[in-house]
């Protein structure tokens, strides 16, 4: 039990084992029982099966780093039998499968989870949301989801994390937070949303920020802020809030006339929002006006017809008589041409 696995470096005094860049394809089965800090990084594990870390041999393991191992699957029960586990790093693994039972049925003592660059597959993101929502990680205080290219987050993803203090969502591609709820995160102290594609934060999100009593640090730098009328609420919140880090450096990205302008220096006159634009009501007013104009034209037309009814009647009679005389002429010529007795008559004769 006190031996050191081949291809690993062990320090009993520091309670640490390092198996780094050794092309391992599985977790060494003969890890020493004294280990508290285990680094298995830069290998080729591919999958983490159930029972990969037996509890009876690793009762004190508290920090586990499995980053950069080409891991694709974390199976059910793979991390369930570690009663002292507090820190887990799965960063830099191209995960495609994360079992909802990876941490067991009874919950995990895990406090810190790092998944930087490990959630590129959308299915894994949904699996992680299911794990978090199940309450298996209720003790989690730090969650790192940076550098994953995330566009949107599953609704209610953080609803069962009452102990969460630090949430890192930086360096993704988040375009909005409308379906993201931060309610219930009463212990949240730090929220990093920098290096995303946020164009605006709506009133609902800002109200949630105001309702988090412990929240002291919010990172919003390097986002594509759209400085139109919709950003007024965000600007007002920035001016009154002391939660945002380096808020003086936040600048507009769109439109071009506002490019580079500091959000804190924006006034209502810059946005030209004095008169609210309500397109549906404008269209409704236009349709009513058009209807009135058409009705007026119709009434004038009917009045003109009524005033000229005698002339119109005479004109109609004249047209009818002309058409009747014309048709009678055609009919009479047809009868002449159809009579064989008149076939020898000259075409110039006056019948």
Mean pLDDT calculated for residue range 191-198: 97
Residue 334: pLDDT band by 50, 70, 90 thresholds?
low
Tokens 């609902």: give the residue.
204
Residues 6 or more apart in contact with residue 17 via CB below 8 angstroms:
4, 5, 8, 9, 10, 11, 31, 32, 35, 37, 38, 39
Question: CA 263, CA 261: separation in Å to the nearest integer?
Answer: 6
Helix (H, G, I), strand (E, B) or coil at 167: strand
| CATH T-level topology, domain 9-270 | 3.80.10
Over the chain, what is the mean pLDDT? 88
Of 59 and 318, more confident: 59
Measure Cα distances from 21 to 25, 29, 177, 243, 250 in Å: 11, 17, 39, 41, 41
Q: What is the CA radius of gyration of the chain?
A: 40
Specify the pTM: 0.76
- Residue 351 scores a pLDDT above 50: no
Question: CA 251, CA 268: separation in Å to the nearest integer?
Answer: 16
Q: Where are the domains of the chain?
A: 9-270, 278-310
Helix (H, G, I), strand (E, B) or coil at 168: strand
Residue 330: pLDDT band by 50, 70, 90 thresholds?
low
Mean pLDDT calculated for residue range 134-156: 95
Which string of DSSP letters, residue by residue, matches 300-328?
HHHHHHHHTHHHHHHHHHHHHHHHHHHHH
Mean pLDDT calculated for residue range 148-168: 95
Answer yes or no: are the C-beta atoms of 190 and 212 closer than 8 Å. Answer: no
Residue 341: predicted pLDDT: 58
């Amino acid at each position: 039990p006190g031996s050191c696995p081949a291809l690993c470096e062990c320090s009993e005094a520091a309670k640490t084992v390092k198996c780094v860049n050794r092309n391992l394809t599985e977790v060494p089965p003969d890890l020493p029982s004294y280990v508290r800090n285990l680094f298995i990084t830069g290998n080729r594990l591919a999958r983490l099966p159930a029972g990969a870390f037996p509890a009876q041999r690793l009762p004190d393991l508290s920090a586990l780093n499995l980053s950069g191992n080409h891991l694709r699957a974390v199976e059910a029960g793979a991390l369930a039998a570690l009663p002292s586990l507090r820190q887990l790093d799965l960063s830099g693994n191209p995960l495609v499968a994360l079992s909802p039972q990876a941490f067991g049925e009874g919950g995990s003592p895990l406090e810190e989870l790092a998944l930087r660059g490990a959630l590129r597959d959308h299915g894994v993101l949904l699996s992680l949301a299911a794990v978090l929502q199940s309450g298996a990680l209720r003790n989690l205080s730090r969650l790192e989801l940076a550098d994953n290219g995330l566009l949107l987050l599953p609704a209610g993803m953080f609803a069962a994390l009452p102990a969460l203090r630090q949430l890192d969502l930086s360096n993704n591609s988040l375009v909005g937070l409308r379906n993201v709820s931060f309610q219930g995160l009463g212990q949240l102290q730090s929220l990093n949303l920098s290096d995303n594609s946020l164009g605006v934060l709506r009133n609902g999100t800002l109200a949630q920020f105001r309702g988090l009593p412990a929240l002291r640090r919010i990172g919003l730098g390097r986002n594509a802020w759209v400085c139109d009328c919709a950003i007024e609420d965000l600007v007002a919140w920035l001016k009154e809030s002391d939660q945002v880090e380096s808020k003086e450096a936040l600048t507009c990205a769109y439109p071009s006339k506002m490019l580079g302008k500091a959000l804190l220096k924006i006034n209502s006159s810059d946005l030209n929002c004095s008169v609210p634009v309500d397109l549906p009501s404008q269209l409704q007013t236009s349709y009513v006006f058009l209807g009135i104009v058409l009705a007026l034209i119709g009434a004038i037309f009917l009045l003109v017809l009524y005033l000229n009814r005698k002339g119109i009647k005479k004109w109609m009679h004249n047209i009818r008589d002309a058409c009747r005389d014309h048709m009678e002429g055609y009919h009479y010529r047809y009868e002449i041409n159809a009579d064989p007795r008149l076939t020898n008559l000259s075409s110039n004769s006056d019948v």
